[in-house]
Structures are given as structure tokens and as C-alpha cells.
Amino acid sequence: MNAHDNGAVITARGLTKRFGDLVAVDGLDLDVRRAEVHGFLGPNGSGKSTTIRMLCGLLAPSAGDIRVLGHPLPRDAETVKRSIGYMTQKFSLYDDLSVHENLEFLAAVHGLRGAQARRRLDAMLERYRLGDLRRQLAGTMSGGQKQRLALAGAVMHEPELLLLDEPTSAVDPQSRRDFWDALFDLAEAGTTLLVSTHYMDEAERCHRLAILDHGRLVADGSPQELMANLPGSTLQVQCAETRRVQRALAAETHVLGVAQIGSSLRVLTDRRDGIDWLRERVRAIDASALVETVAANLEDVFVAATRAHGQSTEDAT
């Protein structure tokens, strides 16, 4: 049984990419299962785009094995490219072609002809609410409209696997929600999706999540599993001297993250006895402070998983 048969649409083992002395992706193991929406999270420069480009067959790895849809990469890159769709944060269609012309061009690129091409084009215009915009030049559309056109273009040839690199970075919250609804429609119809994002609300919607840091996989699981298995404690502090307490806690080695949310502080510590330990620390500064345990969220998971290095790769380089 190969990776394609057992439900894994993407299997990567020991995937590595070096750019000179920089190890952008470092020994990554990843399995993406059929019809799942698999989220890809990580600080700036953690290697998400580089990984996605290798999984598309656009970039050759320095080391490691990749199978996509049962095919080894980069050997079968040309075959794989016909069965996958790829969309990046940068609008990659032609600004000076209309919506219809852009889709027509993509249909031709993917070998769709005649009545088949027309049927598919009409279906895309309708599904992605582009019918009224069909004659508009792509360059004059709003961010949300461009993104719908880019998605229509990426799925024109009905790919089995869709790789999306920060597809919602330039659109408003309602457009992001609509876009994610479209992604779930695709998953329900059997398409497998790997989506990188910096938005926690999007990450929360994924079936599974992989978190990268400095090119390494630092967490992998369903959002629920990752939140339930978060080591340490998540706490809320209410006090009068919020800024002073925050500065003091930020200097503590056991504090992985401290952020002001409204008038209280949200504190993530790696200590199991976090509440007693934190109460003592905080009350030494502000005797009236209240400390309570709160449920962990995905941002806590992200902070805990990526905190070991203290700053993003981009900052470090």
C-alpha cells in the first residue's frame, strides 16, 4: 500500500532545504490526509512558504523524501502539477485581463477545451460569485474579489490537492469567512487542502495543524488536541498596576508569554503549579491582584510551541 492508498495525500520525511548556510526547512516530517484542511502555522521566516513550494514541486529539497498523491517529488513534478492547485498571498493573475479572460487563459493552460472549458468556466463564475464581474479587469477588483478569482483559477482544473500560502493576508474579516466556507466546500467534495496562515481564528477551523519554528515541526495535531495537551498553565491576572506587573513577569524565565487583554493580563507559564507560583510573584508587586486559571486557546499553543527561540527567525537573521 503506498501513501496515496492509505489516505495520506502528502507524506514528507526528513524534508530539508538549505539556502547557503541558512537551514530554512530542517528535517520536517509531515502527513496530510485526504479531504482534510491542514493548517500550517509559524512565525515569519519559519519555512512555511519554502515547504509549500517543495510540496508543489516548484523547489527541489536539499534532502528528504516527498510523496504527493502517490508520486515521488521532485521526480514526478510535472505529473503532480497537473493534479494540484497553488495559490499564494500575492495575486498571480493578469491585472490587464478581465475576470473571464483570466479564467479562459487558465482553462487553456490546463488543457480544457470547447464545451468542457465553457461549462467549467461558467461553474467557476457562479460558484465564486464572479458572474457580474466577468468583464471587469482583474486589476480593478477589490482584495476580496481578487481572492475569489484567484481561488477560482486555482481550482479550474479540479485539483485533488490545493496548497494555499497565506491566501487571506489582504482581505477583510467577512471575506476571510466566506473564503474559508469555500475551502470547506472543497474539502467536503474530497479536495485535500494545506493552508498557511497567521490568523488564529483560521487555524482553529482546521482539521489538523502543523506549527513550524526555525524550519522545524514543533507541534502537530488537531486544534483540540494541541490545546488539551498544552504543558503548563494559562492564567489571567487582574490588578491595578498592569504595566508594572507585565514588565516584571516578562523577565521571568517560567513565563512563556504575557499580554494585556483589555484591563487584565493573560499569562502563559510552563509551570504545572502555575497559579500558586504566579499569585506569589504578582502579589509581591500588587497585593490586591487576582489570579485565576483560564482555558487555553490556540494562541497559547502557538506561543508555547515557538517560544523556545524567543524571537522569530526573521528577527534572528
Ligand X SMILES: Nc1ncnc2c1ncn2[C@@H]1O[C@H](COP(=O)(O)OP(=O)(O)OP(=O)(O)O)[C@@H](O)[C@H]1O
Stretch that binds ligand X, among 7-15, 38-46, 121-129, 249-257 (CB under 6 A): 38-46
Stretch that binds ligand X, among 47-55, 99-107, 141-149, 289-297 (CB under 6 A): 47-55
Binds ligand X (CB under 6 A): choice among 3, 24, 54, 107: 24
Binds ligand X (CB under 6 A): choice among 13, 14, 19, 190: 19
**Does residue number 49 form part of the binding site for ligand X (CB under 6 A)?**
yes
Stretch that binds ligand X, among 39-47, 179-187, 252-260, 283-291 (CB under 6 A): 39-47
β-strand partners of 292: 236
Binds ligand X (CB under 6 A): choice among 45, 57, 232, 257: 45
**Does residue number 197 form part of the binding site for ligand X (CB under 6 A)?**
no
**Does residue number 44 form part of the binding site for ligand X (CB under 6 A)?**
yes
Give the residue carrying C-alpha cell 461549462: 119
Q: With beta carbons less than 8 A apart as the criterion, state whether 52 and 196 touch.
A: yes
The least distance separating ligand X from the CB of residue 187, rounded to whole angstroms, comes to 22
280 burial class (0-12, 13-18, 19+ CB within 10 angstroms)?
exposed
Please give the radius of gyration of the chain, using alpha carbons only, rounded to the nearest integer: 22
**Does residue number 263 form part of the binding site for ligand X (CB under 6 A)?**
no
Residue 184 phi, psi dihedral angles, 5° rounding: -70, -30
Using DSSP, state whether 99 is helix, strand or coil. Answer: helix
**Whose Cβ is closer to ligand X: residue 234's or residue 306's?**
306
Q: Long-range contacts for 166-173 (Cβ within 8 Å, ≥24 apart)? A: 166/48, 166/49, 166/88, 166/89, 166/196, 166/197, 166/198, 167/87, 167/88, 167/89, 167/195, 168/197, 168/199, 168/202, 169/89, 169/198, 170/89, 170/143, 171/143, 171/144, 171/147, 172/143, 172/144
Total number of residues that touch ligand X (CB under 6 A): 13
| Binding residues among 110-139 for ligand X as defined by CB under 6 A | none
The least distance separating ligand X from the CB of residue 26, rounded to whole angstroms, comes to 10
**Does residue number 232 form part of the binding site for ligand X (CB under 6 A)?**
no
**Does residue number 168 form part of the binding site for ligand X (CB under 6 A)?**
no
The least distance separating ligand X from the CB of residue 111, rounded to whole angstroms, comes to 30
Q: Edge to edge, what strands does the sheet with 71-73 contain?
A: 22-33, 8-19, 63-68, 71-73
* For residue 74, cis peptide bond before it (omega within 30 degrees of 0): yes
**CA-CA distance, 148 to 229, in Å (whole number)?**
36
Stretch that binds ligand X, among 17-25, 228-236, 248-256, 267-275 (CB under 6 A): 17-25
**Does residue number 167 form part of the binding site for ligand X (CB under 6 A)?**
no
CB neighbours of residue 189 within 10 Å:
10
**Does residue number 253 form part of the binding site for ligand X (CB under 6 A)?**
no
Q: Residue 295 corresponds to which cell in the numbers above?
A: 482555558
Q: Residue 23 corresponds to which cell in the numbers above?
A: 537551514
**Whose Cβ is closer to ligand X: residue 22's or residue 189's?**
22
Binds ligand X (CB under 6 A): choice among 38, 48, 208, 266: 48
The least distance separating ligand X from the CB of residue 30, rounded to whole angstroms, comes to 14
> Can you give the binding site for ligand X, defined by CB under 6 A?
19, 22, 24, 42, 44-50, 313, 317
